[in-house]
């Protein structure tokens, strides 16, 4: 497992990161412990979570994922050998069970950090990320701009400067080491970087956004930002909710699978996405590799990616995903992928 430096930080993160949002919902605590043990044994040193998790978000399971990870850390030790990342929730109607409506102001961020530290049973968080922007913009599959008219908003958004200042203070206190953003736009990344330069705040060191064969929108604008500003991508949903494995083709809904249990997560289930997936699955099988491993290897090989976040509900899935680091796509296969992409450009948001 290769370790990559995370931007301009001194963190070195494994090229595969273990995503954990199924812990406490689709995966029990015992299953989560087995996954964490297996990932670490395979060379993974990077674990990503959020105060929002488990997913789908609901009051009964909010914080459950961090709690499970905290118990595992206490049982296994070795905190200093791991890079632990979590996130603070922003405003959303479906997240109102968090602090009666989470905001990205100084008071809410402090409450969120202290809650995460307590659940994770640790004194510090290596990478603390803004889960999604406070302002009304493009994320979670939303296409089209401008945002809603100001009169439709209940409250004005918290300025990015207040958010960054609060995070900077927490770095000074030693509660977090580095700052990252998630589900952010090129304008938002620029704003964080510009404020850091102008006001002397710590710079963000990473961007956690969706990126996969079905959603390559990061390449437009953000990829240049990631490389030129040393703020690399932590790619989430590299298998597009598992769609790129091919298991949902022809209307299949395997028992216990995410889209079987939660069909409203339809972001990667459009007709265009299904057609593109069929092509990618066929190409992988012709090349003699699994569709999942081809999809993960494609993401891992991008020059703007520091780590690819994988998630699994079974050990078989986790083993296959971890072994994708042994797969390198040659130029011929990459060219074939590009041909499919040209035929089905951005089939899912």
254-270 pLDDT tens trace: 998 999 999 989 899 99
* pLDDT band at residue 230 using 50, 70 and 90 as cut-offs: very high
* 340 close to 279: Cβ distance less than 8 angstroms: yes
* 113 close to 88: Cβ distance less than 8 angstroms: yes
Q: In this structure, is the dihedral angle defined by the CA atoms of residues 266, 133, 295 and 279, taken in order, positive or negative?
A: positive
The domain 3-240+305-329 is classified under which CATH number: 3.40.50.920, 3.20.20.100, 3.40.50.300, 2.60.40.10?
Answer: 3.20.20.100
In angstroms, the CA 72 to CA 82 distance is 12
The residues carrying an active-site annotation are: 53
Q: What is the pLDDT of residue 152?
A: 59
Question: Is the pLDDT at 108 greater than 80, yes or no?
Answer: yes
Name the pairing type of β-strands 16-19 and 12-14. Answer: unpaired
Q: What is the pLDDT of residue 155?
A: 73
Per DSSP, helices labelled H in the chain are 29-41, 64-76, 106-120, 160-172, 186-199, 222-228, 258-261, 271-287, 291-300, 315-322, 331-343
140-184 pLDDT tens trace: 998 888 776 655 555 789 999 999 999 999 999 999 999 999 999
Lowest-pLDDT range of 175-179, 201-205, 259-263, 288-292: 259-263
Q: What is the pLDDT of residue 295?
A: 98
79-106 pLDDT tens trace: 999 999 999 999 999 999 999 999 999 9
320-343 pLDDT tens trace: 999 999 999 999 999 999 999 999
In angstroms, the CA 344 to CA 34 distance is 38
Instruction: Indicate the SS3 state at residue 46.
Output: strand
Q: In this structure, is the dihedral angle defined by the CA atoms of residues 136, 310, 279 and 338, taken in order, positive or negative?
A: positive
Domain ranges in the chain?
Answer: 3-240+305-329
Expressed in angstroms, the distance from the first to the final Cα of the chain is 30
Higher-pLDDT residue of 10, 349: 10
């Amino acid at each position: 497992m290769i370790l990559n430096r995370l931007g301009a930080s001194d963190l070195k993160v494994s090229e595969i990161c273990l995503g954990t949002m199924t812990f406490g919902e689709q995966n029990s605590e015992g299953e989560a412990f087995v996954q964490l043990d297996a990932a670490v044994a395979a060379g993974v040193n990077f674990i990503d979570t959020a105060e929002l998790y488990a997913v789908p978000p609901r009051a009964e399971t909010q914080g459950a994922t961090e709690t499970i990870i905290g118990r595992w850390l206490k049982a296994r030790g070795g905190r200093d050998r791991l890079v632990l990342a979590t996130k603070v929730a922003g405003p959303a109607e479906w997240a109102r069970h968090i602090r009666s409506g989470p905001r990205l102001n100084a008071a809410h961020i402090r409450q969120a950090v202290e809650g995460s530290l307590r659940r994770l049973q640790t004194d510090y968080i290596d990478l603390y990320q803004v889960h999604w922007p406070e302002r009304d913009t493009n994320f979670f599959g939303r296409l089209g701009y401008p945002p809603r008219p100001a009169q439709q908003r209940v409250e004005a958004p918290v300025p990015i400067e207040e958010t960054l200042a609060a995070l900077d203070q927490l770095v000074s206190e030693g509660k977090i080491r580095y700052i990252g953003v998630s589900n952010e736009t090129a304008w938002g990344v620029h704003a964080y970087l510009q404020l850091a330069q102008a006001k002397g705040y710590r710079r963000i060191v990473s961007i956690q956004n969706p990126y996969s064969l079905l959603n390559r929108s990061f390449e437009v604008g953000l990829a240049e930002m990631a490389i030129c500003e040393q703020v690399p991508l932590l790619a989430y949903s590299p298998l597009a909710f598992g769609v790129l494995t091919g298991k949902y083709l022809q209307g299949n809904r395997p028992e216990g699978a995410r889209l079987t249990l939660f069909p409203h997560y339809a972001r990667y289930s459009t007709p265009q996405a299904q057609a593109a997936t069929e092509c990618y699955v066929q190409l992988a099988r012709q090349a003699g590799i699994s569709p999942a491993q081809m999809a993960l290897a494609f993401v891992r090989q991008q020059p703007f990616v520091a780590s690819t976040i994988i998630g699994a509900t079974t050990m078989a899935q986790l083993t296959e995903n971890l072994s994708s680091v042994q797969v390198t796509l040659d130029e011929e296969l990459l060219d074939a992928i590009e041909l499919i992409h040209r035929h089905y450009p951005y089939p899912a948001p």
